[in-house]
C-alpha cells in the first residue's frame, strides 16, 4: 500500500468538512454523509464546533482508494484558527484547496494558496457548491487564474449549475480545447514538450500529456481544477481519482526499517488528562514500549500507539514511515517537537517553522473568582501546549494572565473551553494590538567582574539591526573555548528571553546580538567554591548588559498592518471611504462589479475590529470584510508602550533589588 497524507484547506464555509464527509462516504468508511449544521460530522468532534458549525481543531480521518491509504486532515477555515493550519502544513504530501462556486476566491483562499505555493505542496483545487444558487464555475475559474495562479487546468465542466441536479462532465482525449490548454500550460515547465508543441509534432499524444500533467502536479508546478458538489456528490469521483493519480502518494516501506524520524503536529489531552501526541512518521518504525528521543526532554517511553485506518484511529502495535499515528506516554511532548532524528525531507516538513503571521492581538484573561487564578494558569498552560501561539504570558507585577489571539472569535473558544473542560468561568479585557520593536542603530555594553557588578561574570554584548523577518541572531566574537558551554547557553537563552520586552515593552526582533566579552571564576582544583561563577551569574547579569546596549542603539516600534478586502453595495462607497480614512486605512485598489464595489487596501490591525462593528450600519448589513496580517510599519502618532512584566533591567536599581529578592527567596 502507498500512503498519502492529505490536507483539506479553504476559506470558512467553502465546504471543507462536507467534502471530507463525502470522501469518507464514497470510500465506504461511513454509511451516510454527516451534516455540519446538524453537528453530525466525523471530524468536528468538539461541542463548540458542532454548536457553531465551524472547524476549530484539525482532525484526522483515513480511507482507502485502490492501493493508496489516504490520511485526510480537515483544517479550520476561519482565520482566527490559522495556527491549526500552520501546524498541519509541515506533515502534508498534498492538499485540496476548496473554493466556493458562489463566493469564489476569498481573502483566506489567497493566503492559503500563497503558502502552499511557497512550500511547494502539490495542490488540487476543488470548486464546490455548483448546485447552489448563484454558482458560476466559469467566473470562479477565471478568478482562480487571475488571483491564485495562472498554472491551472480545468479537468471538466459543470452542467446545470445552481440546481440540485448539477453535474460535472469530465474532459478527455476527445476534447480538443482541453488538450490544447493542457499542452499550453505544461509546455511552460517542459522544454521538450514546448519544442514539440511549437512544431505541432505528433509527439503530443494524450497519454504523453496526462503523464506530464501527473508529473508536474506532483511537483506543484500545475494545479488541476475539479468542479463538483460535496453535498450531492457530483464530481467527487473525479476528484478522488485525482488524489491518487495527481498527488505524490509514496511507498515508504523501504524507509520503515531506518532510524526513527517523526514530527509532532498536534497535542491533546485524554479523558484522564494524559497527553496524546499526533505524529507524522517520516522514517523508521515506533512500537509501544520503545524509548525515543522526544524533543527537549530527552528519551521517553511510548506506552501506547494508535494508527488511522478506515476512519478514526485504532490501537496498533506500531506506527511506521508514511503513517500518521497517536502516541501515549510522552509526558513532556510539545507541538513542533521532533521524535528521533530530524526529518531529512524538505524544510516545509519542520512543524516548528512559522508559515503564517504571528497573532497580532493580546488580551488579559480574568477569572470570575480571584481564588481560581492558580487553576486558570494551569488550564491556560495546558491550552498553550495544544496551541503554542497562544503565547501565555504572566505579569507578576499586575497579577495578570495574558494570551495572544488572531481574532475575537478565539476569545469565545477559549472561554467555552475553560468552562467545559476545566470548570472555570472567565472574562476578557479589551484586546490590544501586539507591536514589535526593531533596533534603530548599533549599541554595545560590557560589565566586568568586580566593582559595581555584583555577579561573578563578565559579559559584553553588541546589538544591531538585521534583515526584516530574520528574528534574533546570536553570534560569538569571543575566542572558542573562552566560555564553558553551560555559561554560553545561559547567556544565549537569557538574551532571547530578555528581548521579549524591549525599550517600549514589545518583543525585539530582526536583531543581531554579538557576545564580545566574557569571563568567569573557575572552581578550585578540589571542587566547587561559593566564590566560583555559576550559570545563574550569567543569567542575572546578561539582561542588564543587553538592555544597556539596546538603549544605546535605540528601537523603533512597528505596528501590524492587515491587507483587507471589502465588498460593499456600490451606492455605499461614498459613506464608507471617509470612515476608512478615519481608521487610517489606505485603499490600494477599487473595482466595480455590477452593483458591488470591491475595495482592497491596508488597515492597522488595531482598527479591524472597529471597522467590523461599523460596517453593518454603513452598508445596510450587506458589507463583507476579510482581512489578514500583511506587514509591519512604523507606529503612527504616540508610540504605543506595553507595561513591563519582568524585573525591569532598564532600571539598574530596581532590577538588582528584584534579583536580590528572588535569590533570597530561593
- pLDDT recorded at residue 182: 92
Domain boundary among 404, 434, 464: 434
The answer to whether position 526 is within a domain reads yes
Pairing of strands 555-569, 436-439: antiparallel
Residues 105 and 108: their CA atoms lie apart, in Å, by 8
Q: Nearest to residue 300, comparing CAs of 349, 338, 351, 344? A: 338
- 155 with 28, same domain? yes
The answer to whether position 134 is within a domain reads yes
CB 541 within 8 A of CB 491: no
CATH of the domain at 650: 3.30.230.10
- 475 with 544, same domain? yes
Residues 435 and 96: their CA atoms lie apart, in Å, by 34
The answer to whether position 202 is within a domain reads no
List 474's β-bridge partners, or say none: 513
CB 265 within 8 A of CB 87: yes
- 84 with 124, same domain? yes
Q: Which helix (H) or strand (E) holds 508?
A: strand 507-508
The answer to whether position 204 is within a domain reads no
Residues 263 and 282: their CA atoms lie apart, in Å, by 8
- 289 with 382, same domain? no
Triad 133, 137, 143: Cα angle to 5°? 115
Q: What is the per-residue pLDDT across 348-372, written as a single tens digit (0 to 9) for each?
A: 444 445 545 678 888 999 999 999 9
260-293 exposure pattern, b = at least 16 Cβ within 10 A, e = fewer: bbbbbbbbeeeeeeebbbbbbbbbbbbebebebe
CATH of the domain at 397: 3.30.70.870
CB 360 within 8 A of CB 631: no
CATH of the domain at 329: 2.40.30.10
- Determine the 3-state secondary structure of 464 from DSSP: strand
CB 63 within 8 A of CB 206: no
- Determine the 3-state secondary structure of 460 from DSSP: strand
CATH of the domain at 582: 3.30.70.240
- 503 with 544, same domain? yes
- 471 with 407, same domain? no
Residues 45 and 367: their CA atoms lie apart, in Å, by 27
- pLDDT recorded at residue 623: 86
E-strand spans in 302-385? 304-308, 313-315, 318-320, 324-328, 338-340, 361-367
- 540 with 457, same domain? yes
- Determine the 3-state secondary structure of 123 from DSSP: strand
- pLDDT recorded at residue 506: 94
Q: What is the per-residue pLDDT across 190-243, written as a single tens digit (0 to 9) for each?
A: 888 888 777 765 557 888 899 999 999 999 999 999 999 999 999 999 999 999
The answer to whether position 377 is within a domain reads yes
The answer to whether position 209 is within a domain reads no
CB 566 within 8 A of CB 628: no
Q: Nearest to residue 73, comparing CAs of 63, 58, 84? A: 58
- 564 with 591, same domain? yes
- 425 with 442, same domain? no
The answer to whether position 339 is within a domain reads yes
- 330 with 467, same domain? no
222: left (phi over 0), alpha (psi -120 to 50) or beta: beta
Number of domains in the chain: 5
- pLDDT recorded at residue 347: 40
Domain boundary among 434, 453, 477: 434
Pick out the chain residues at pLDDT < 50. Answer: 44-46, 49, 346-352, 355, 664-666
Pairing of strands 507-508, 436-439: parallel
Domain boundary among 401, 417, 434: 434
- Determine the 3-state secondary structure of 209 from DSSP: helix
The answer to whether position 609 is within a domain reads yes
- 467 with 540, same domain? yes
- 393 with 498, same domain? no
For the entire predicted model, the pTM comes to 0.71
Pairing of strands 2-10, 94-100: parallel
Q: Which domain holds residue 579?
A: 557-634
Residues 230 and 638: their CA atoms lie apart, in Å, by 51
62: left (phi over 0), alpha (psi -120 to 50) or beta: beta
Q: Which helix (H) or strand (E) holds 59?
A: strand 59-65
- pLDDT recorded at residue 34: 62
Amino acid at each position: 500500500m502507498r500512503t498519502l497524507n492529505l490536507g483539506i484547506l479553504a476559506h470558512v464555509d467553502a465546504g471543507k468538512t462536507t467534502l471530507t464527509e463525502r470522501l469518507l462516504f464514497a470510500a465506504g468508511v461511513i454509511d451516510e454523509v454527516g451534516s455540519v449544521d446538524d453537528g453530525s460530522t466525523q471530524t468536528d468532534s468538539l461541542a463548540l464546533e458542532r454548536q457553531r458549525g465551524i472547524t476549530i481543531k484539525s482532525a484526522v480521518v483515513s480511507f482507502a482508494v485502490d492501493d493508496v491509504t489516504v490520511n485526510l486532515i480537515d483544517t479550520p477555515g476561519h482565520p482566527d484558527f490559522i495556527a491549526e493550519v500552520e501546524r498541519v502544513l509541515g506533515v502534508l504530501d498534498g492538499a485540496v484547496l476548496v473554493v466556493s462556486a458562489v463566493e469564489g476566491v476569498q481573502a483566506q483562499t489567497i493566503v492559503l494558496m500563497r503558502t502552499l505555493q511557497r512550500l511547494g505542496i502539490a495542490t488540487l483545487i476543488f470548486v464546490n457548491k455548483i448546485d447552489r444558487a448563484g454558482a458560476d464555475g466559469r467566473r470562479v475559474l477565471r478568478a482562480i487564474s487571475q488571483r491564485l495562479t495562472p498554472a491551472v487546468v480545468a479537468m471538466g465542466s459543470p452542467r446545470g449549475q445552481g440546481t440540485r441536479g448539477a453535474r460535472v462532465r469530465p474532459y478527455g482525449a476527445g476534447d480538443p480545447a482541453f488538450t490544447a490548454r493542457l499542452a499550453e500550460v505544461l509546455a511552460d515547465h517542459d522544454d521538450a514538450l514546448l519544442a514539440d508543441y511549437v512544431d505541432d509534432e505528433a509527439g503530443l499524444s494524450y497519454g504523453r500529456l496526462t503523464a506530464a500533467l501527473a508529473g508536474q502536479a506532483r511537483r506543484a508546478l500545475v494545479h488541476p481544477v475539479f468542479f463538483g458538489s460535496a453535498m450531492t456528490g457530483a464530481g467527487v469521483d473525479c476528484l478522488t481519482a485525482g488524489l491518487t493519480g495527481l498527488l505524490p502518494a509514496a511507498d515508504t516501506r523501504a524507509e520503515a526499517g531506518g532510524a526513527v524520524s517523526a514530527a509532532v503536529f498536534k497535542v491533546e489531552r485524554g479523558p484522564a488528562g494524559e497527553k496524546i501526541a499526533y505524529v507524522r512518521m517520516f522514517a523508521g518504525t515506533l512500537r509501544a514500549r520503545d524509548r525515543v528521543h522526544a524533543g527537549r526532554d530527552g528519551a521517553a517511553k511510548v506506552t501506547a500507539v494508535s494508527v488511522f485506518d478506515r476512519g478514526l484511529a485504532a490501537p496498533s502495535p506500531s506506527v511506521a514511515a508514511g503513517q500518521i499515528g497517536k502516541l501515549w506516554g510522552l509526558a513532556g511532548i510539545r507541538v513542533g517537537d521532533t521524535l528521533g532524528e530530524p526529518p531529512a525531507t524538505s524544510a516545509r516538513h519542520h512543524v516548528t517553522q512559522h508559515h503564517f503571521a504571528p497573532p497580532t492581538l493580546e488580551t488579559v484573561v480574568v477569572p470570575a473568582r480571584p481564588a481560581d487564578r492558580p487553576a486558570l494558569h494551569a488550564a491556560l498552560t495546558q491550552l498553550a501546549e495544544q496551541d503554542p501561539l497562544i503565547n501565555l504570558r504572566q505579569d507578576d507585577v499586575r497579577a495578570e494572565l495574558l494570551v495572544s489571539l488572531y481574532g475575537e472569535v478565539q476569545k469565545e473558544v477559549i472561554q467555552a473551553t475553560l468552562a467545559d473542560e476545566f470548570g472555570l468561568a472567565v472574562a476578557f479585557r479589551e484586546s490590544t494590538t501586539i507591536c514589535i520593536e526593531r533596533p534603530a542603530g548599533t549599541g554595545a555594553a560590557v560589565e566586568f567582574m568586580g566593582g559595581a557588578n555584583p555577579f561573578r561574570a563578565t559579559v559584553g554584548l553588541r546589538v544591531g539591526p538585521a534583515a526584516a523577518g530574520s528574528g534574533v541572531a546570536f553570534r560569538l566574537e569571543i575566542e572558542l573555548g573562552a566560555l564553558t558551554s553551560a555559561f554560553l547557553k545561559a547567556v544565549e537563552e537569557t538574551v532571547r528571553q530578555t528581548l521579549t520586552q524591549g525599550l517600549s515593552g514589545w518583543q525585539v526582533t530582526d536583531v543581531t546580538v554579538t557576545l564580545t566579552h566574557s569571563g568567569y571564576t573557575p572552581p578550585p582544583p578540589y571542587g566547587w567554591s561559593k566564590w566560583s561563577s555559576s550559570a545563574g551569574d550569567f543569567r542575572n547579569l546578561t539582561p542588564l548588559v543587553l538592555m544597556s546596549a539596546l538603549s544605546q542603539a535605540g528601537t523603533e516600534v512597528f505596528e501590524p498592518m492587515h491587507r483587507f478586502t471589502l465588498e460593499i453595495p456600490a451606492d455605499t462607497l461614498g459613506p464608507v471611504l471617509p470612515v476608512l480614512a478615519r481608521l487610517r486605512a489606505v485603499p490600494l485598489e477599487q473595482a466595480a462589479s455590477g452593483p458591488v464595489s470591491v475595495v482592497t487596501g491596508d488597515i492597522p490591525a488595531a482598527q479591524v475590529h472597529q471597522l467590523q462593528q461599523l460596517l453593518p450600519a454603513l452598508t445596510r448589513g450587506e458589507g463583507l470584510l476579510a482581512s489578514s496580517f500583511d506587514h509591519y510599519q512604523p507606529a503612527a502618532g504616540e508610540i504605543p508602550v506595553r507595561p513591563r512584566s519582568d524585573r525591569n533591567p532598564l532600571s539598574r536599581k530596581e532590577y538588582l533589588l528584584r534579583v536580590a529578592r528572588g535569590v533570597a527567596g530561593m
